[in-house]
Structure 1
Amino acid sequence: MISTLTKPKRLYQEIGLTLYEELRQSRFAVGDRLPPERDIAERLGVSRAVVREALIMLELMELVEIRKGSGIYLIKQPSEDTSDNKLESSLDTDDAGPFEMMQARQLLESHVAEFAATQATKKDIVKMRDALELEKQNIDVLDHKHAGDKLFHFAIAEATQNSVLVDLVKDLWERRENSPMWKQLHSHITDQAYRKKWLIDHEKILSAIQQKKPDAARLAMWRHLENVKDTLLMLSEHQDPSFDGYLFSSNPVQI
């Protein structure tokens, strides 16, 4: 790793800078395909999700190109005369990786849904239903802004009657919407069919909250956000033929 740099806040940035330095010193030429994610992850002792995020970071730096169904290609050699200070200043240390954000949402929002099932009023349920109706309209007209999706999650948070929880949920959504990493990940996703599956997930969450079943609401939200993670990983996979889907196959958290 580049020794004189201040240690980045994010693990994906540490891995990204390690790969940057390796590319700067390596035999790879412009146009060469880099090793698969699995090999990089095993060699550096991190998950493929972190490697995926590190590669997105290098893509934003316009050093590599991630080609769907093919692999990762070097499109520009890291500059030998790039100073450590210049390189460090190019990092957005506040930009969390998209899968890290998803895990945070999963831990928080599953318990928010659980609590909402004990606190939700009739007015809250109506707001959730209206949000799902908007989500259906968004899907029908191929609106990529996900307004209904966002409003549904906000309505669940508001049903807790706890303003701190509402702020936490909204903050995570705001971070997602302002994240260059998140936008770059989505630039590789063209198939929107997954949104219908997420709508079904939302209907299950609403049903559990409406029936005032906290455990069922927590589990439904957990499974929904697990589905979101899996979907994003699959749809952004750049080596389709060898994708094995194991990135989140084991989860240390018991629900």
Structure 2
Amino acid sequence: MINTFTKPKRLYQEIGLRLYEELSDSRFSVGDRLPPERDIAERLGVSRAVVREALIMLELMGLVEVRKGSGIYLIKQPTDNSLNNELESTLDNDDVGPFEMMQARQLLESHVAEFAATQATKKDIIKMREALELEKQNIEVLDHNHDADKLFHLAIAEATQNSVLVDLVENLWERRESSPMWKQLHCHITDQTYRKKWLIDHEEILLAIQQKKPDAARMAMWRHLENVKDTLLILSEHKDPSFDGYLFSSNPVQI
């Protein structure tokens, strides 16, 4: 198949386009199960996270379906012009893959927390505590609202007393909230018990900032967002029978 589509802006789009073209070449029939993510990742030389993002892209287009306990199946052949037009639109948009977004947050917010530990005032600490209290209440009543999570992370950014850092952190949250990719990832997540683990992470971050320990604050935030990243991969896993537990390679940077 000759590639006449817009050049992909992001890696997950590039992988999604390659998979789309493979499906268009009739290598699979409707109803066929796609190869395991691990096999696709190894063949294309990318991480499992990128393959997951590419499959979410194809899922949003209505080409594949995630079946819990079974795998990912082809439900429509990408042969008509309407799907080609939809792919063109998908490749031309600015949506970020959820795991790429998490990596950006991890790199930025770990250092934001480090700086906040040197600048935070009593007022900032009180604001973080209030956000955690609201988070606890939401978890207790099984409220799926994540506003308290956002408030906590923004309170840390505000504790740096640097408006540019606040804008950067807020922008990442806004992109997450408006992202169809992020929403599609979460539609497969029904187990909410992970939120209790994230609350413990938040408490450790707050303690380090309150004690004015920059290194501890940086590491606590890094571990928290690594936990978020891993949890999202695990909870959104479609339980392919050949899944072997492989998630990520090591962290991209050492801190």
TM-score range, shorter-chain basis? over 0.9
Q: What is the identity percentage for the equivalent residue pairs of Structure 1 and Structure 2? A: 86
Runs of 5+ unmatched residues, structure 1? none
Further displaced range: 29-38 or 123-132:
29-38
Distance in 1 separating the partners of 2:131 and 2:244: 35
Distance in 1 separating the partners of 2:83 and 2:132: 50
Deviations along 1:137-194, one digit per CA (max 9) or x if unpaired, are 1111222121111100000000000000000000000000000000000000000000
Further displaced range: 133-142 or 110-119:
133-142
Q: Aligned with 2:165: secondary structure?
A: helix
Deviations along 1:13-43, one digit per CA (max 9) or x if unpaired, are 0110111111011231111111111111111
Contact conserved, 1:24 with 1:78, CA < 8 A, in 2?
yes
Distance in 2 separating the partners of 1:236 and 1:27: 26
Residue in 2 that maps onto 1:61 = 61
Cα deviation for residue 91 of structure 1 reads 3.6
Distance in 1 separating the partners of 2:157 and 2:136: 20
Give, as a single letter, the amino acid of the residue that structure 2 aligns with 1:144. Answer: H
Further displaced range: 34-43 or 84-93:
84-93
- Structural RMSD (CA): 1.6
Distance in 2 separating the partners of 1:2 and 1:97: 26
Residue in 1 that maps onto 2:11 = 11
Q: Does 1:77 align with 2:69?
A: no
Further displaced range: 76-85 or 15-24:
76-85
Residue in 2 that maps onto 1:160 = 160
Distance in 1 separating the partners of 2:84 and 2:62: 17
Contact conserved, 2:71 with 2:240, CA < 8 A, in 1?
no
Contact conserved, 1:138 with 1:147, CA < 8 A, in 2?
no
Runs of 5+ unmatched residues, structure 2? none
**TM-score, length basis structure 1:** 0.95
Cα deviation for residue 236 of structure 1 reads 0.5
Residue in 1 that maps onto 2:21 = 21
Change (3 A) 1:86 1:165: same
Residue in 2 that maps onto 1:224 = 224
Distance in 1 separating the partners of 2:83 and 2:235: 36
Give, as a single letter, the amino acid of the residue that structure 1 aligns with 2:27. Answer: R
Distance in 1 separating the partners of 2:91 and 2:7: 11
Further displaced range: 21-30 or 43-52:
21-30
Instruction: Could you list the structure 1 runs, at least 4 aligned residues long, displaced by more than 6 angstroms after superposition.
Output: none
Q: Does 1:189 align with 2:184?
A: no
Give, as a single letter, the amino acid of the residue that structure 2 aligns with 1:175. Answer: R
Contact conserved, 1:58 with 1:64, CA < 8 A, in 2?
yes
Aligned pairs, number: 255
Residue in 2 that maps onto 1:143 = 143
Contact conserved, 1:53 with 1:97, CA < 8 A, in 2?
yes
Further displaced range: 75-84 or 189-198:
75-84
Deviations along 1:111-162, one digit per CA (max 9) or x if unpaired, are 0000000000000000000000000011112221211111000000000000
Distance in 2 separating the partners of 1:101 and 1:110: 14
Distance in 2 separating the partners of 1:210 and 1:240: 44
Give, as a single letter, the amino acid of the residue that structure 1 aligns with 2:188. Answer: H
